[in-house]
Amino acid sequence: MKVPFLDLVAAYRELQPQIDAAIARVLTSGHYIGGPEVEAFESEFSSYCGATHAVGVANGLDALHLALLAMEVGPGDEVIVPSNTYIATWLAVSQCGATPIPVEPDACTYNIAPALIEAAITPRTKVILPVHLYGQPADLDPILAIAHKHGLCVLEDGAQAHGARYKGRRIGAHGDAVAWSFYPGKNLGAMGDGGAVTTNDEQLADRLRVLRNYGSRVKYVNEVQGYNSRLDPLQAAILRVKLTHLDEWNARRCAIARRYEQGLSDCGLTLPFVPEWAEPVWHLYVVQHPKRNALLKQMDEAGIGTLIHYPIPPHLQKAYASSGFLRRRFPIAEQIAHQCFSVPIGPHLNTSNAAAVMAALKDATESNLNRQR
Ligand SMILES: *Cc1c(COP(=O)(O)O)cnc(C)c1O
């Protein structure tokens, strides 16, 4: 049995009549930029997240970038980021002319280690930017306490965590703002690019609305040098349909994660660790093994799709070669990059798919044990 890493067409098929109707509604409305679909999605998504405002933007990277600009981050400033994240988190900081300051993750949860944050704070620090990586909430309370003590803002990268809960409350307004991506493969995915920022801060939301629209509130009157970063109404209409299914689809991901946890407990893989206060939404199911590359080759031969999130941490990327990070070590991020891989999980992976994934993993770990002896 072949199992793809993720089946996005199955997601469309399940909701095809509603999605087709939503698209037709936009096409016949004449509102091709902004308009009622974008406003309705912003209102529905902010309520879902428990935030007072949602501002739609063009993608997740822009959500991070514009949120940092709205927090007045600029050249000379520093922003604390995880050493192990998708590079977008760092790029958003660099795009403001500010410097990303990497902090290592907790080796069990993969999320930024709150105990290491204070040592990274300098007089230039403006923002702490935790990422809810793989769909698991970061430990926000100690992060918020540190931010409060030092007068810093907290911007959360929620791109992988739509619907995840921290201490019973959905991600969306614990910190000053949360940046979201609706990239197609995300738990709440559009059929193209999309993004948003949620916040309870009226002033921040207002700045974001101006920044995303050429720095303009009134047509042809420009207050600041803004950007063109708007959420497409076609994507907003599709996202409205998908938002009504998000909890059910996240529940299906959780059911697969439970199966994996039970079925893979004794085959030498390091499985995800979930703290008691976390309700993850399993954007990715990431495991670790010292012979990762050999395992992946066998998984590929067995027809099971796998990916590595992420093979090269940002500080080792050529993009950051001139920043001096190469001379510094981030051993936890590097170990994760060497040993981790993601196995198929998603709302359209059925139980026989999951069984095939587990059987292939057991075969692969077994034969790599034998070869060691
Ligand atoms: C997907 C992702 C982003 C960027 O989102 P885009 O919509 O692709 O720009 C940012 N941060 C993280 C952690 C992501 O996974």
User: How many residues are recorded in the chain?
Assistant: 373
Contact 212, 229 (CB under 8 A): yes
Å from CA of 185 to ligand 1 middle: 10
Please work out whether the CB of residue 89 comes within 6 Å of at least one atom of ligand 1: yes
Please work out whether the CB of residue 84 comes within 6 Å of at least one atom of ligand 1: no
- Tens-level pLDDT at each residue, the chain (373 residues): 899 999 999 999 999 999 999 999 999 999 999 999 999 999 999 999 999 999 999 999 999 999 999 999 999 999 999 999 999 999 999 999 999 999 999 999 999 999 999 999 999 999 999 999 999 999 999 999 999 999 999 999 999 999 999 999 999 999 999 999 999 999 999 999 999 999 999 999 999 999 999 999 999 999 999 999 999 999 999 999 999 999 999 999 999 999 999 999 999 999 999 999 999 999 999 999 999 999 999 999 999 999 999 999 999 999 999 888 777 889 999 999 999 999 999 999 999 999 999 999 999 999 887 555 4
Distance CA 121, CA 110 (A): 21
Q: At 345, phi and psi to the nearest 5?
A: -155, 145
Mention every residue, 6+ apart, whose C-beta is less than 8 A from residue 359: none
A 10 A CB-CB count for 145 gives 11
Distances (CA, A) of 184 to 7, 293, 347: 11, 27, 13
pLDDT at 327: 74
pTM over 0.95? The answer is yes
Nearest protein CA to atom 6 of ligand 1, as residue: 60
Tell me the residue type at 177. Answer: A
pLDDT at 63: 99
pLDDT at 373: 43
pLDDT at 324: 81
Please work out whether the CB of residue 86 comes within 6 Å of at least one atom of ligand 1: yes
pLDDT digits 0-9 by tens, 101-112: 999 999 999 999
Contact 57, 229 (CB under 8 A): yes
Nearest protein CA to atom 14 of ligand 1, as residue: 159
Distance CA 124, CA 180 (A): 26
Distance CA 155, CA 179 (A): 7
Using the atom order of ligand 1, give the atom closest to the CA of residue 131. Answer: 13
Please work out whether the CB of residue 187 comes within 6 Å of at least one atom of ligand 1: no
